[in-house]
Structure 1
């Protein structure tokens, strides 16, 4: 049986670049086994991840975490990502208006305005924590506006979301939910009385099997969409700034040619894919040389798949001009991220405005980066030196 008993999703080996952790594993087998957290399989190759994601009949989304109860009973139901066909598609269609091109165009000016406000407090300083002061705040404000949160409560919203995003242990998750749910309950009641075109109203109008959502399903769906929208963009944007701080040639290239930023965003998403979620095997089967049993969990190792040299020439090198880039950072198949266009927009604007305001920056010496672990990887602390870096080592 292919195995990699030492791998732990929640404790990846310390490395200058944690995204290389899968390189050796992938080179040995496209599907490997870890005995941590009750045991789970990991799809490591591009083809294996693609095959899992596109076969919901064999790989169910009933549980998307490792271990299966990682998020507790309160968040066990998180539609639409925990729904299989045919229940999935109708629910997803209900959410589409909230993520439409029209909504993106409407919200884009506010993202740019917010980025400039944040940067105005950084320009002229000699250092900052780009993860906490910038990368996290961009999607937090954006998501607050998407759910229809009043302007005077957006700081409260951000604090409650911070509690959820930074919880790791079960007791922390339960405490964070107890802290967050009253805020969401109040927002839900407001939208029941006065629906609009916001995300909460869209979820309230959704049905599963022809019935309205139960309370846990409603809360689970909102928590999923909100935290996914914040955490993934926060992580991907932070990793992008981390790369540019360490690679002045790429930073200078984007400063000189901002039109390349959308292409660079795709490469950053490929090279630093933040998200990996799981599926549950529905019957005993052989899969890419591994014998899987009914009920087994299979982790989609998307960061690994996106560094597979069979799919990406020079996969270990970040090429901000890479033209062909079929990365899986937003997933693939029926559960492909519904908010991918919005995440791209946020990252593009955040990098455009950062490089315009702070064209020169480097990684601070010493312990400058703290990485998150688990199902979303990204910098939680990113200490940067702002200003000229001539003569400094990258």
Structure 2
């Protein structure tokens, strides 16, 4: 999705502003006439005893609007590519669709794709680089999921890995993804149905996937042969 994967700010920002404009109309309508829905709850919420600001409400709604639109698709791109290089895994999913949840967890761990933005609260020196309070940094989830002290042979893809779901691909603690359960269901069903409906497939050797970086990483294209 352009709003998250486009690196050209001249293209990305107008898309984001259009989304914010759409969400603002909904917020203003619910502010005047509340309904029994999430947007009404947001616009009439309080933060530390004060009414939420419109800017804060817009940020919440933008997050809710974007979350899940491309994250699951990007997770699928890495999972499907792994399957394209492993025909035995495809066969296993065709013969036993019940292993799909295990495939989902190991795929999320092995191919994490989220980079969390954080604003520094104080000056900090990291490897000789001075980071200033107020600056934003990206904190990738990937290194934690490839930590050899947490996962044995972390770069290997093991369907029977014990504790695979201890990954932090969907964050953890109070920051755990609100839609994590839905994402897992969508991914499992996708891999089950894709393998059931498609013959054995592989990645086209004459093409190279184009990867997109940013808050959420993924593939803009993945050519398959079958």
Per the TM superposition, whether the score is higher than 0.5 is yes
Quote how far apart the aligned CAs of 1:286 are. 8.0
CA contact (8 A) 2:117 2:215 kept: no
Q: Taking structure 1 as reference, are residues 205 and 242 closer, same or farther at Cα in structure 2, changes over 3 Å only?
A: farther
Quote how far apart the aligned CAs of 1:169 are. 2.7
Quote how far apart the aligned CAs of 1:308 are. 1.5
1:296-311 matches, cutoff 5 A:
298-311=137-150
Structure 1: 5+ residue runs without aligned partners? 1-161, 387-394
Deviations along 1:15-68, one digit per CA (max 9) or x if unpaired, are xxxxxxxxxxxxxxxxxxxxxxxxxxxxxxxxxxxxxxxxxxxxxxxxxxxxxx
Q: Aligned partners of 2:26, 2:120: CA distance in 1, in Å?
A: 37
Q: Aligned partners of 2:129, 2:4: CA distance in 1, in Å?
A: 35
Q: Aligned partners of 1:263, 1:238: CA distance in 2, in Å?
A: 17
Whether 2:65 is the aligned partner of 1:226: answer yes
Deviations along 1:99-123, one digit per CA (max 9) or x if unpaired, are xxxxxxxxxxxxxxxxxxxxxxxxx
Quote how far apart the aligned CAs of 1:359 are. 4.6
SS in 2 for 1:299: strand
Q: Aligned partners of 1:301, 1:343: CA distance in 2, in Å?
A: 19
> How many equivalent residue pairs?
223
Q: 1:276 maps to which residue?
A: 115
Whether 2:13 is the aligned partner of 1:174: answer yes
Taking only aligned residues, the RMSD between alpha carbons, in angstroms, comes to 2.6
Q: Aligned partners of 1:177, 1:228: CA distance in 2, in Å?
A: 13
Quote how far apart the aligned CAs of 1:302 are. 1.1
Q: Aligned partners of 1:329, 1:363: CA distance in 2, in Å?
A: 25
CA contact (8 A) 2:210 2:219 kept: yes
Deviations along 1:132-163, one digit per CA (max 9) or x if unpaired, are xxxxxxxxxxxxxxxxxxxxxxxxxxxxxx44
Structure 2: 5+ residue runs without aligned partners? none
- Report the TM-score, using the length of structure 2 for normalisation: 0.85
CA contact (8 A) 2:4 2:214 kept: no
Aligned equivalent of 1:249, options 88, 97, 116: 88
Q: Taking structure 1 as reference, are residues 201 and 239 closer, same or farther at Cα in structure 2, changes over 3 Å only?
A: farther
SS in 2 for 1:261: helix
